[in-house]
Structure 1
Amino acid sequence: MDGIFADVRPGARLDLTVEFITKRPLACDGATVCRLLVTDQAGDQFSILATPDSDSLWDLETGETYEITGLLGAAPVDTSQAIAHECPHCGDQLRAGQAIDAAGSAVVDAAEKLGIDRRFGILDETASVKTVDEDTGAVDDWLPMQDDQPVETPDFVCTSCGRHVAQHMLARDEEPVLENMEADASMGTMNDSMASPETVGLAAGGAKDVTNFRENVANGYTPEPEAISDEGLFYDYYFETGERTATDSLFAPRYAAAVSDHPLSGETEQYLSVGLDSTLSVEEFERPRLDLVAVLDVSGSMSSAFDQYYYDEQGRRREAESGSETKLAAATQSLCALTEQLHAEDRLGVVLYNHRAHVAKPLRDVGATDMPAIRQHIRDIAAGGSTNMEDGFEAAVDMLADGTTSHDLERRVIFMTDMMPNTGETGANELTELFADAAADGIHTTFIGMGLDANAELADTVSGIRGANHYFIHSADEFEQRLGEEFDYMVTPLVFNLDLELDATGYEVEAVHGSPSADDASEQLMHVGTLFPSAKQDGQARGGVVLVRLTQTAADATLELQASWTERDGAEQTERVAVSMPEDGAAFAHDGVRKAVALARYARELRAWARDVHDRADNATGVDDWLLPDQRGEHERESVPLVVPDEHTERFGRLRLNST
């Protein structure tokens, strides 16, 4: 805060400390503008005009000192330069656009009424005012994100009707459309029991729901195939895991076999389920202390409607209509709710990112932070710019780099985004490597996908790394309730690197269902990167299964397994077991296996349908060779209308009727 009034330049932003003198409201152009008189640290008195949309004028008191961040410099309107064009709306004279015009016609009107004849400041929605408080109590350490892009002034302004006119409009007769768009949240709730007897269950990392898939269907869109992962679907259900085994380890895997004919192909399929359970009692479970950095995407796509696609109709950007909930509104409400789950000894940091990263809140103990003030700052965040996930994540990692993850300390990044990076590193492999390198250093990540158009494919890819999981938000209220129920489970990985090796001849791994690391499987090995605690209901674990589909390669095959894993405290465990496969007909060891097989087949069929529809949309006949300035990037999604071709309708019907 070293700036003074002499440093004010039209169109530039400045941080400075001032003493407040007086405030005067003026009715201008149908709105209210406030003129503030202040004195800077050099003793120079000057004017500040506060725009109607500025929320920074709470209870200013004469004689008090305030810190102003992002004050926009301006000068009185200069009408001396003649413009050889007429307004296309009213036919009157145009003048060149200036910095003051970026603040709106009400500010221009106020400056004229007040007779301001020298430079002044503008306090708009980007700027903020904070009291300089000598109190040594809770700290409001929020640092507003300043826009490093130059202020966009209109090309021309009409001296009569005041309308802004772009250069290209002078060659057209059409009237430009000006819209004022505001977000209004309208959300639902969910009901998800967390009743849990005895011990804590376990569930694989990765997806924790299939919300994005279901909400796309509900809104008339065909979802991405990756939006219905097996582990996400499994987490919507509770599974019997089998008879408890005697063990001293935290993780207590239970194995069960099944044989069943596929209801569509008629082929006999063999399965091995790994029931995910623990020996940790609910009373003994305690989440570790958190060093948590929330990384919030504030790029332009976050200003779009929560229930529509931002890049739609050949990449054109769609802003939110008035009254619709924006992705940013849901994200900020969800982030505020998330901070309510933190304890005084936890540490919180906040990073905002668009085309660049900004540390909005340094990492600090929650107990020493003015959390109500921080939540208000979060609610005031605005969106704009492109999307650089790499910068946002690296800023968070830098904040956490000095710590050490341990049994009683979890270092975690909560990434709230629509997963559509378009600047910086954007390749899925490169981004995965970025998150994986941090995970190797003990910094884990939770991804929270915002909006119908959130990139499910990228979320599915990056959440398979060690310690990662991801959620899709349907409504902020629903997510807030879910946080209250399972936040401690969300941020506490308990088991890492579960490997199940077939230590026998006669069987091979054909596919793995219920693990984000399914692609890491080989003919003899199943891998699960992370297990998180999960709730139980009537003794059944939520999402508590990983299913292995087997191929028998020899008539006299026997199934022997070696399981190995690492627990949160660093203990490495290994066990060997033999499992008997049913010999005749359809057979399931218990209902948990039966449920897992049915859901895996269902998810497989839904992915095939979604992939088919998307492939058809991508390969439509005819060429659209119109070149648009805003062609979407690799991760920016357009909607595909909801279509169920006849062959898939028939298959879904048969699957429903014939599933065991």
Structure 2
Amino acid sequence: MSEHSIGIAAPQDPGLLYATATAAWNQDFDALTPLATIAIGFGTTIDAETFRRDAQNLCLVIDRSGSMAETIDARTQTSKLTAVRVGLDRLIARLTPDDLISVVTFNAASRIEVEAVAGDDVAGIKRAYDAVEAEGATNIARAMRLAYQTVARNRDPARNDRIMVFTDGLPTAGARESDDFLPVMRQYAAENIGATIIGVGGNYGDQLVYDVSQVRGGNAFYMGDYDQIVHVFDDEFEYMVTPVAYNVVLSSSVPFAFDVHDVYGIPEPESLSHTLELNVPTLFLSSREGGGIVLVRLRAGALVNFDEPNTLANIDLSYETPDGQRVSTTLDVNLPAGQDPGATESYFESDGTRRAVLLADTARVLRNACADIYPSYDYYYGYYPSRSDGNDTAINRLTEFLPYFDALAAGLEDQPSPTSRSLSEERSLVERLLSNIQAIQASFSR
């Protein structure tokens, strides 16, 4: 979803952040019954063209453990540490004389390479990391603690405070000490010192990335190749160091005439209850074309009267502005009267709603087709392929989905903007998976 432009209309008095919600009623491809879909989109009144970040008191925390000598790119044999240097060079180009930069490097031990130099001191900053060599084990906790202390020593009300960690994984040394890096993060987050983690290569710890993002002021990015390095530092740097809201809470209350069928966009919902909640400790802007969207699919109960309008949900959005003000808004999502109970005629409140439903259906059918082929998973041996009947099921699923895709995509713009992924690209994924499975199936019959 985040790679697609899904248009949402702003409310009359939107405020800094706003939520809009639209409704759909249709027979989804993989659902037994017709479903109502609530598409909840997010927007902001911040103008990306005029947006300027605040000056930074920033400590760069660079992993120099032995694993950073491993290659990030098999073709060019570029090491992870070299990739970090490339990224830092691009980061330096985004700094201004008003920024204050420190550099900490670490393996099992940590050291300050440079402290509190001006952002335009390019030579001083580059010297701090250019001579670093990769060796030894990893202790992230100790390095983060030192970085926080360095930032705290150089605080200034005119600057935002943040550490930025470049690492390829979880600690391999000082395991007991690593248990307390989250409390340390929370301690300094309470003092408004944020943290950004940059995952380097494919073997960094996902749990560390998640933990950082769940702390106030925390976010996470990944760089695995040159294009991603360019994207992170050329496109995202201004946004990644500038929180726009804290403690964002989106809640949805569904009436008991409907049952929640499934939810997309809320990480690990505890249950498919009639009350759902999304909590975002810190909200950052992004240069990406798409944005956050939540889809809630509902199954209509026998008591629903389609001759009358039906309220699908009551939505509440609240957040805290950077200056500490709490803001709350509410809205209702309604399905107009006169819908066909069997959804032989579909209803989509907007083209954006139709696009969101189509993209969710496409992701779901791709996932289900893969599950047809690999129905079981073993901790040690990975995914187990099914017998050929699983391939037949996947082939039938994907073959039947293509005309459904075309019918739902009819009338929609293929690529709403130059930076958005197109619907034809998503359709090609279905075709490619179908072709690959057919090739596998053909090999069984030889």
Match of 1:355 in 2: 108
Cα offset, 1:403, TM superposition: 6.5
Match of 2:315 in 1: 561
* Partner residue of 1:333 out of 83, 86, 95: 86
For 2:29, give the aligned amino acid. Answer: P
Q: Is the 8 A contact 2:249 2:279 kept in 1?
A: yes
For 1:573, give the aligned amino acid. Answer: V
Distance 1:618 1:590 in 2: 44
Cα offset, 1:494, TM superposition: 0.8
Match of 1:589 in 2: 349
Match of 2:429 in 1: none
Q: Is the 8 A contact 2:116 2:154 kept in 1?
A: no
Using a 3 Å threshold, how does the CA distance of structure 1 residues 642 and 503 change in structure 2: closer, same or farther? closer
| Cα shift readout 1:521-560 (whole Å, capped 9, x = no counterpart) | 975232241332234xxxxx72323213244586456322
Cα offset, 1:562, TM superposition: 2.2
Q: Does 2:95 correspond to 1:342? A: yes
Q: Is the 8 A contact 2:375 2:384 kept in 1?
A: no
Match of 1:534 in 2: 286
1:281 aligns to what SS in structure 2? coil
Distance 2:30 2:81 in 1: 43
Q: Is the 8 A contact 1:496 1:568 kept in 2?
A: yes
Using a 3 Å threshold, how does the CA distance of structure 1 residues 388 and 503 change in structure 2: closer, same or farther? same
Which structure 2 residues correspond to residues 189-338 of structure 1 after superposition, within 5 A?
234-241=1-8, 243-247=9-13, 249-307=15-73, 324-338=77-91
Deviates more, 1:329-338 or 1:519-528: 519-528
Deviates more, 1:644-653 or 1:480-489: 644-653
Which structure is higher in helix share?
2
Distance 1:469 1:294 in 2: 15
Distance 1:466 1:533 in 2: 15
Which structure 2 residues correspond to residues 55-70 of structure 1 after superposition, within 5 A?
none
Q: Is the 8 A contact 1:264 1:655 kept in 2?
A: no
Distance 2:103 2:372 in 1: 37
Using a 3 Å threshold, how does the CA distance of structure 1 residues 652 and 292 change in structure 2: closer, same or farther? farther
| Cα shift readout 1:635-660 (whole Å, capped 9, x = no counterpart) | xxxxx799898647545565555444
Using a 3 Å threshold, how does the CA distance of structure 1 residues 283 and 329 change in structure 2: closer, same or farther? closer
Give the aligned CA root-mean-square deviation in angstroms: 3.7
Match of 1:414 in 2: 164
Cα offset, 1:357, TM superposition: 1.9
For 1:238, give the aligned amino acid. Answer: S
Distance 1:440 1:355 in 2: 27
| Cα shift readout 1:406-449 (whole Å, capped 9, x = no counterpart) | 7x642222221112322234799865555444333322222211
2:71 aligns to what SS in structure 1? coil
Match of 1:513 in 2: 264
2:17 aligns to what SS in structure 1? coil
Using a 3 Å threshold, how does the CA distance of structure 1 residues 501 and 263 change in structure 2: closer, same or farther? same
Distance 1:495 1:414 in 2: 19
Match of 1:30 in 2: none
Q: Does 2:241 correspond to 1:488? A: no
Cα offset, 1:325, TM superposition: 1.1
For 1:342, give the aligned amino acid. Answer: L
Identity of matched residues, %: 24
Using a 3 Å threshold, how does the CA distance of structure 1 residues 569 and 260 change in structure 2: closer, same or farther? farther
Match of 1:525 in 2: 276
Q: Does 2:198 correspond to 1:444? A: no
Using a 3 Å threshold, how does the CA distance of structure 1 residues 499 and 349 change in structure 2: closer, same or farther? same
* Partner residue of 1:459 out of 205, 209, 214: 209
Cα offset, 1:252, TM superposition: 2.5
Using a 3 Å threshold, how does the CA distance of structure 1 residues 495 and 429 change in structure 2: closer, same or farther? farther
Using a 3 Å threshold, how does the CA distance of structure 1 residues 602 and 331 change in structure 2: closer, same or farther? farther
Q: Does 2:212 correspond to 1:469? A: no
* Partner residue of 2:139 out of 388, 392, 413: 388
Cα offset, 1:287, TM superposition: 1.0
Using a 3 Å threshold, how does the CA distance of structure 1 residues 614 and 562 change in structure 2: closer, same or farther? same
| Cα shift readout 1:484-506 (whole Å, capped 9, x = no counterpart) | 23321222121222222335632
Match of 1:115 in 2: none
Q: Is the 8 A contact 2:375 2:386 kept in 1?
A: no
Q: Is the 8 A contact 1:428 1:461 kept in 2?
A: no
For 2:379, give the aligned amino acid. Answer: D
For 1:419, give the aligned amino acid. Answer: G
Gaps of 5+ in 2: 305-309, 409-446
Q: Is the 8 A contact 1:256 1:579 kept in 2?
A: yes
| Cα shift readout 1:271-325 (whole Å, capped 9, x = no counterpart) | 32222212223454221111111111111111111146xxxxxxxxxxxx9x511
Gaps of 5+ in 1: 1-233, 309-320, 536-540, 621-639
* Partner residue of 2:293 out of 519, 541, 546: 546
Distance 2:270 2:112 in 1: 36
Distance 1:381 1:613 in 2: 44
1:562 aligns to what SS in structure 2? strand
1:238 aligns to what SS in structure 2? coil
Distance 2:375 2:162 in 1: 35
Cα offset, 1:345, TM superposition: 0.6
Q: Does 2:148 correspond to 1:397? A: yes
Using a 3 Å threshold, how does the CA distance of structure 1 residues 429 and 376 change in structure 2: closer, same or farther? closer
Which structure 2 residues correspond to residues 562-577 of structure 1 after superposition, within 5 A?
562-577=316-331
For 2:79, give the aligned amino acid. Answer: T
Distance 1:429 1:509 in 2: 38
For 1:561, give the aligned amino acid. Answer: I
Match of 1:372 in 2: 123
Using a 3 Å threshold, how does the CA distance of structure 1 residues 562 and 415 change in structure 2: closer, same or farther? same
For 2:86, give the aligned amino acid. Answer: Q
Which structure 2 residues correspond to residues 17-32 of structure 1 after superposition, within 5 A?
none
Q: TM-score, normalised by structure 2?
A: 0.73
Aligned residue-pair number: 386
Distance 1:612 1:433 in 2: 43
Q: TM-score, normalised by structure 1?
A: 0.51
Using a 3 Å threshold, how does the CA distance of structure 1 residues 575 and 344 change in structure 2: closer, same or farther? same
Cα offset, 1:578, TM superposition: 1.4
Distance 2:399 2:245 in 1: 39
For 1:249, give the aligned amino acid. Answer: G
